[in-house]
Copies of this chain bind each other. A is one copy, B any other.
């Protein structure tokens, strides 16, 4: 998984039917920015743990077309 910071939201009215109601957040991780399905109720400025690939669908709990999901809000990294 990677650690990043939530920088905003993304809205898409026209999308795959399976994504209706799914919240998307933009996460910056180092030089890269990616859009994640939010599975924990994260908000802008939160430091989050992101899982990618099939793990995102495990996090979503259903077969939706996502390849990145926020799976935790980071308290501390030592």
Contact = CB atoms under 8 A, between A and B. Distances in A.
Interface of A: 1-3, 8-16, 18-19, 24, 26, 34-36, 39-41, 49, 51-59, 63-69, 71-78
Contacts of A72: 12, 14-16, 19
Given A15-B40, A18-B59, A65-B71, 5 more contacts: A10-B78, A13-B73, A54-B54, A55-B56, A58-B63
In the assembly, how many copies of this chain are there? 5
Contacts of A75: 11-13
Contact of A77 (B26, B41, B49, B59): B26
A68 B19 contact: no
A55 B73 contact: no
